[in-house]
Chain A
Amino acid sequence: MHHFKKLISPYLFVLFLFTLLPMLLIVIYAITISKNEVLTFTITFENFQRFFRDSIFISVLLQSFKLGLITTAICLFIGYPVAYAISLLKEKTQTYLILLITIPTWINLLIRTYSWVSILSSKGILNNFLAKFGIGPLNLLYTDFAVIIGMIYSCLPFMILPIHSSLTKMDQSLHEASMDLGANPMITFLKITFPLSLPGVLTGITMVFLPAISTFVIPKILGGAQYTLIGSFIETQFITIGNWNFGSAVSLILAAFILILMSLMNAADRYTNSGDRDEDETRRLKRYAKK
């Protein structure tokens, strides 16, 4: 294995070019200001200070977190039962249903989001439908509700898929063992199935929460122009205002918050991860290797 090590150098180069370099540029932008000449390169924390000085910026960040949390919570609340129900079906039916859940993600997010505009707008499909019962028209578009619906819609597959996969990966005989020992289906779910599916739940939470707090397409289209989240805020800094330095700083701040949350999540994951067979296998192999 050892002499293969040299062969990875091209990949390291690619990694540097496409991952590290852009990150480095963001850092450089974040710690400088736009008036800099190339030769008078001054490092400053002004961009960061500006963010924390102004309570509006912080409230935008908090608002994004709030929206991300709500989206994640609702996705989990809907996604777990769906994943569980699918995992109980015949294998072939499962494949079709999972495909069905995946299909929307093949279509451009922008188009899918605009279709929600035509559903939710005051003369849209939903209001037309409600009008037949004499309700409305309701003001749905450009509200929190519309944004959350849109986010759930686009994020839900990423909650269902990992949970479903962790449920189907589970050894069926564990459920039988639990029933055998006198646990009814409810207790079996609470004590065996759910704890063992937690790795999937944590993956799902990560996969929903991260895009949910940084997205700018959905809030912009469904929330309207007045609706500012951290994602659209960064976008505005870069595209409209052209203050790349401040935009970079804000994205770093967001990244830092995400990093903290992720490491908390990882700590929880490690705590519950004894259910993950593969990892145990590697651990065991490592032990043997040591001997």
Chain B
Amino acid sequence: MKKLIELKNLTKEYSGQVVLKGINLDIYENEFVTLLGPSGCGKTTTLRIIGGFLDASDGTVIFDSYNISKIPSYKREINTVFQKYALFPHMNVGDNIAFGLKIKKMPRSLIKQKVADVLDLVGLNGYENRDVTLLSGGQQQRVAIARALVNEPKVLLLDEPLGALDLKLRKGMQLELKRIQKEVGITFIYVTHDQEEALTMSDKIVVMNEGSIQQIGTPMDIYNEPENRFVAKFIGDSNIMEGIMLKDFLVEFDNQQFECVDKGFMEDEEIDVVIRPEDIDILEEGNGKIDGVISSIIFKGVHYEIIVETNNRSYLIHTTDVVEKGRRVSLSFYPEDIHVMSRMESY
């Protein structure tokens, strides 16, 4: 795959406050990349710098092997789907979509054809003459996507585009966006704070916090092999324990030693251990690795969310087994369910 965008040491300061602390990121052709993080982590700032709406304080943006850091947004071959769609209220659907093509002075018949095609792509056949302000949120969303895609950009930037939609519509649009991305075959850079959305759609997730990148990886990597406490906490639920890496494949936490599959840490290095709640099995007392008492059971639909109090801490467990509160049980997990991460200063 060809490298399309390269962010080199991007930093951004607003009146003394550093919001981006040196972002280095490569984005390839045809990739669905998601910038994921809590609000204020710098993901939108990064996106706006790529789009040309903000200047970085330092660092460069390489696009297609050209440095575009000083190129204004209207000269970039990049289009954006804005958070609140930003449709032009004084134009109908067709004119909104045709806006970019008209500026390029494309012949009228070709514009008409392209608008019809892209409306077809987003599932709004024949909506050309509708008033954009009278469309539903989901429809406005589709128009915004169509308006960006019709220009055939090499990269589409999407700034939390599904934020304003309700859950069901959102799920539908997630799959739809993925389909559109496959169909047009261009790079999507997607910003969201919703980890589930990121896991569903992305080829690559960039987890950000406080202006720096925490981890870059596939959804599976990010979920199964979080690199630090922040990533583990932010993506899904997790049990995080402080521990010591005694040697390769042997870790100690909760005053017990456990076999694991991690290696490459220093001997006796202080580390964090994460175990996902769905990776813990509940066995009869004495049969597992850690004993405890079930202190709370919450029915979550697909599974139960159970809290087991042990001598050292409480464990969060997701299970479909039927259990009752107050019972003494034993927790069990496989060596590969233990993920060892480097210790971080904060969090």
Q: Which residues from B are CB-within-8-Å of A191?
A: 99
Report the minimal beta-carbon distance from B304 to chain A, rounded to whole angstroms: 40
Q: Interface with B: A118-126, A171-179, A213-221, which one?
A: A171-179
Report the minimal beta-carbon distance from B129 to chain A, rounded to whole angstroms: 13
**B170 on the A face (CB < 8 A):** no
Report the minimal beta-carbon distance from A174 to chain B, rounded to whole angstroms: 5
**A50 on the B face (CB < 8 A):** no
Given known A184-B74, A284-B134, contact A192–B100 (CB-CB < 8 A)? no
Contact with B along A254-291 (1 / 0, CB 8 A): 00000000000000000010110100100110010000
Given known A180-B74, A181-B103, A182-B74, contact A275–B82 (CB-CB < 8 A)? no
Q: Interface with A: B83-91, B216-224, B227-235, B290-298, which one?
A: B83-91
Report the minimal beta-carbon distance from B125 to chain A, rounded to whole angstroms: 22
Contact with B along A8-28 (1 / 0, CB 8 A): 000000000000000000000
Alpha-carbon gap, A180 to B52, bound state (A) = 8
Given known A180-B51, A181-B99, contact A280–B74 (CB-CB < 8 A)? no
Number of CB contacts from chain A to chain B under 8 A = 78
Q: Which residues from B are CB-within-8-Å of A283?
A: 134
Alpha-carbon gap, A1 to B90, bound state (A) = 34
Which residue in B80, B90, B133 is a CB contact (below 8 Å) of A177? B80
**A183 on the B face (CB < 8 A):** yes
Tell whether, in the assembled complex, residue B100 and residue A174 are in contact, meaning their CB atoms are under 8 Å apart: no
Which residue in B79, B84, B89 is a CB contact (below 8 Å) of A181? B79
Report the minimal beta-carbon distance from A282 to chain B, rounded to whole angstroms: 11
Tell whether, in the assembled complex, residue A181 and residue B133 are in contact, meaning their CB atoms are under 8 Å apart: no
Chain A at the B interface: SS class: helix
Tell whether, in the assembled complex, residue B131 and residue A183 are in contact, meaning their CB atoms are under 8 Å apart: no
Alpha-carbon gap, A120 to B286, bound state (A) = 103
Alpha-carbon gap, A171 to B86, bound state (A) = 8
**A81 on the B face (CB < 8 A):** no
List B86-104 residues whose CB lies under 8 Å from chain A. Answer: 86-90, 99-100, 103-104
**A187 on the B face (CB < 8 A):** yes
Tell whether, in the assembled complex, residue A183 and residue B74 are in contact, meaning their CB atoms are under 8 Å apart: yes
Q: Which residues from B are CB-within-8-Å of A284?
A: 133-134
Which residue in B79, B88, B134 is a CB contact (below 8 Å) of A174? B88
Alpha-carbon gap, A8 to B82, bound state (A) = 45
Which residue in B82, B99, B148 is a CB contact (below 8 Å) of A173? B82
**B73 on the A face (CB < 8 A):** yes
Alpha-carbon gap, A178 to B88, bound state (A) = 9
Tell whether, in the assembled complex, residue B82 and residue A177 are in contact, meaning their CB atoms are under 8 Å apart: yes
Give the residue among B73, B104, B151 with the most A Cβ atoms within 10 A.
Answer: B73
List A27-74 residues whose CB lies under 8 Å from chain B. Answer: none
Q: Which residues from A are CB-within-8-Å of B80?
A: 176-177, 180
Tell whether, in the assembled complex, residue B89 and residue A182 are in contact, meaning their CB atoms are under 8 Å apart: no
Which residue in A183, A187, A195, A280 is a CB contact (below 8 Å) of B133? A280
**A196 on the B face (CB < 8 A):** yes
Q: Which residues from A are CB-within-8-Å of B90?
A: 195-196, 272, 274-275
Which residue in A173, A180, A196, A280 is a CB contact (below 8 Å) of B84? A173
List A79-95 residues whose CB lies under 8 Å from chain B. Answer: none
**B72 on the A face (CB < 8 A):** yes
Alpha-carbon gap, A179 to B80, bound state (A) = 10
Tell whether, in the assembled complex, residue B73 and residue A179 are in contact, meaning their CB atoms are under 8 Å apart: yes
Alpha-carbon gap, A277 to B132, bound state (A) = 12
Residue of A whose beta carbon sits closest to that of B133: A280
Tell whether, in the assembled complex, residue A274 and residue B133 are in contact, meaning their CB atoms are under 8 Å apart: yes
Given known A173-B84, A280-B133, contact A179–B89 (CB-CB < 8 A)? no
Q: Which residues from A are CB-within-8-Å of B89?
A: 196, 274-275, 277, 280
Residue of A whose beta carbon sits closest to that of B131: A274
Alpha-carbon gap, A272 to B82, bound state (A) = 24
Alpha-carbon gap, A78 to B134, bound state (A) = 36
Tell whether, in the assembled complex, residue B73 and residue A176 are in contact, meaning their CB atoms are under 8 Å apart: yes
Contact with A along B60-84 (1 / 0, CB 8 A): 0000000000001111001110111
Report the minimal beta-carbon distance from A7 to chain B, rounded to whole angstroms: 35
Given known A180-B80, A284-B134, contact A192–B74 (CB-CB < 8 A)? no
Tell whether, in the assembled complex, residue A181 and residue B147 are in contact, meaning their CB atoms are under 8 Å apart: yes
List B130-167 residues whose CB lies under 8 Å from chain A. Answer: 131, 133-134, 147-148, 151
Q: Which residues from A are CB-within-8-Å of B334?
A: none
Report the minimal beta-carbon distance from A182 to chain B, rounded to whole angstroms: 5
**B53 on the A face (CB < 8 A):** yes
Tell whether, in the assembled complex, residue B88 and residue A192 are in contact, meaning their CB atoms are under 8 Å apart: yes
Tell whether, in the assembled complex, residue A187 and residue B103 are in contact, meaning their CB atoms are under 8 Å apart: yes
Q: Which residues from B are CB-within-8-Å of A180?
A: 51, 53, 73-74, 78-80, 148
- Provide a sorted-by-A list of 15 A–B residue pairs whose CB atoms are within 8 angstroms: A171-B84, A177-B80, A179-B52, A180-B78, A181-B147, A181-B148, A182-B74, A183-B74, A184-B74, A188-B74, A196-B89, A280-B133, A283-B134, A284-B133, A287-B134
Given A180-B51, A195-B90; 7 other pairs, CB 8 A cutoff: A174-B86, A176-B53, A180-B80, A181-B100, A181-B148, A274-B131, A275-B89
Return the 7 tightest CB-CB contacts between A and B, nearest first: A181-B100, A177-B86, A173-B86, A280-B133, A179-B74, A179-B73, A275-B90
